Structure 1
Amino acid sequence: MKYLVLLVSLSIFISCNKKEEKETTTEAPIVVEPIIKEFGIIFNEFKVVKDTIKSGDTFGKMLQNYQLPDSMNVHQLTEKVKDSFNLRGIKAGKPYLLFFDKNNPKKLQQFVYIKDQIHYTVIDLRNGVSVQNKEKPVTIKKRTIAAEIEGSLSVTLEKAGVSAGLAPKLANVYAYSIDFFKIQKDDKFAVTLYEKFIEDSIYVGIDRIESTYFQHRGKDFYAFPYKLKDNQKEASYYDEEGKALKSMFLKAPLDYFRISSRFSPRRFHPVQGRWKAHNGTDYAAAHGTPIKTTASGTVERTGYTAGNGNYVKVKHNSTYSTQYLHMSKILVRNGQYVTQGQTIGLVGSTGLATGPHVCYRFWKNGVQVDPLRLQLPNAEPMDEADRKKYVEHIKPFKQELDSILKVTFKN
């Protein structure tokens, strides 16, 4: 009997311990809210609303229903931020965020406009008004790839793990050498490029091309960017021997145009009402259309005359010069070095003109000629001193391309 009582007591003790243990293990775990931080703001400290700018939205319209600090109204806020934040640059479809006081969900604390994957603007309203135009930290990574064309260039690039956005960049490099509408299966290419990443992982595009190679119909085409002059805005592309890939002159000073009057020894002038020589080619285009210099060179003269209106004349070398007339606005100055394709002015109708156009004039050895009838040269060759420097400069880049070509196409 004594043993039975002891056994029952022990059983009750064990049962109680198990119950206490069970009750202890069923307590609700403590949940720690993850810290969310972006744009330099800790989201957890606010009530956050994400939205997208709609057609017709303005900065004021987006904020008009919210409480602003210090009894400020939307107009006053707009006046405070307009010098730092491009209000007219706000575009429909772009995302933005509103950060509100948690205790007063109508009281706006911060506003973030996301311009693109990298650029954004933060307007902080907590202590006065501050505007910061910021960029997310970007890492630049270099890589070299090689591949054989399968289908289109874009498809081949995607299979190689490269953005299809590289295709138009390569087409631009080889615009005067390869017809990219005629590339074919078994054509090969290699390219060394730099790509941009946010936080080392989010791909945001191509930064630049360092060097490239294309084999088209059995012929090799190398291309390396190089600046012959220190003040040259953009590099030009040359092959492995230092020969320029571009033609010396663009076909026209406008991207989109209609030839309204050609070079002629005798043309009836629509303003002066008499027959006279027309020593230029008129390209009609909308008022404000960008006018591009057709070749690199130095601005020899800018100004205004009653006949020419606003004009720019560019000296390209000892043989060639070009002039651009009737501009609505001149965008370069005397003595400035300009590169092929650089915008030097805008289409207008100043001077003797009946409508918006640019009169393009072309000199060869001091005589005005018709460029549409000329066999125009490729870009000027490098002098021997520049060529030697260039060949030495591209050696490591060419070796890098040749090395990956050898590994990729062993057979």
Structure 2
Amino acid sequence: MQQIARSVALAFNNLPRPHRVMLGSFTVLTFAVAVWRPYVYHPESSPTPIVKTIELHQNEIRSLLPEASEPIDQTMPDEVEDIPQDELDDKTANEAGVHEYVVSTGDTLSSILNQYGIDMGDITQLASADKELRNLKIGQQISWTLTPEGDLQRLTWEMSRRETRTYDRTASGFKMSSELQKGDWVNAVLNGTVGASFVSSAKQAGLTSAEIGAVIKAMQWQMDFRKLKKGDEFSVLMSREMLDGKREQSQLLGVRLRSAGKDYYAIRAEDGKFYDRNGTGLAKGFLRFPTSKQFRVSSNFNPRRLNPVTGRIAPHKGVDFAMPQGTPVLAVGDGEVVVAKRSGAAGYYVAVRHGRTYTTRYMHLRKLLVKPGQKVKRGDRIALSGNTGRSTGPHLHYEVWINQQAVNPLTAKLPRTEGLTGSDRRDYLAQVKEVVPQLRFD
């Protein structure tokens, strides 16, 4: 042992002086960490452990929140939560609270529901109730309703025109039921002329509220239905299922609208999306982020966030990006500004409507660069970021809403400019040749 010690000492002394200093300091530090133990005082007279919980006053919680976010001990007022609506947004009683989604390329049950903040446990239970849910096909439609607490209550899967499966929440999971449609599908062309409004004129032509909504969504990127004028014409091709003389359900196949002497078309493809007569997609592409560069996420989308004081759900319906004040905020897509004002909780904020399906909101701004009613293009500057309203630091609160439902801006499936190619386009053009001649104005 002594010989080993002498060898080590000799090797140490032969090292250059800077190396000896560094190695010696490291050795002392390592020894100190190894032998150090914190002294904890345990009174012998107290058999109970030291208290492990710390109670905070409500006014102390603010300091523990993520930097640059909204204080979660306070909620946004109703005036901020409300997105401006109009006649075209009206839903029938059985449609209220129902969220719909058409399956597209790359979608899975998990990716679809997760962007709406639905709990992964519910998604797993659904997949266990029916393993075929793992094989969704392009063009199929799913719809669902939520409980007041935001949990999944019921999911409906339209596998085909003939079969619909429904999954209802039970105490032990989800129970599946299947319904086979026995009616005959019949095509019907309905046309008319715009009078007081498109909605009232379409109802006079024989379209239901749900069918009118389908037409508006199909044409939303080409036409602002509020701007249609008296005398404009429309022709709609619907496929309707008839059973014992009654209409059970319907599907929009194509629409033609003539406004100011110009014709606009939207034809349904096999993937459930609508394209023009050449197979070009109608949707306008979106930016993923509302700034020219990415910033740190200081608070994530969380529809089940709990208020630490009350224990009640206080949803965070968007994403907070920590950024310096004065950072340019961009419109993520083409649209119309529907709100640009100051509100107590949101500070200065802007809401932009994109077509009839999407709405984006931008809060805690320092300066507004747009006005209500103004048209904006993707990438346009609409504001400068700030720290106004209820805010714990400079940041941008950003929300994306689809069909009046808040979704996760970081994972939501956003519109993109696309078109059909190859055999899909050939099949579609053959379909166009059958549909367009039927879209006549009487």
When Rg is computed on C-alpha atoms for both structures, the one with the higher figure is 1
TM-score (norm 1): 0.35
The structure where strand makes up a greater share of residues is 1
TM-score normalized with structure 2 length: 0.33
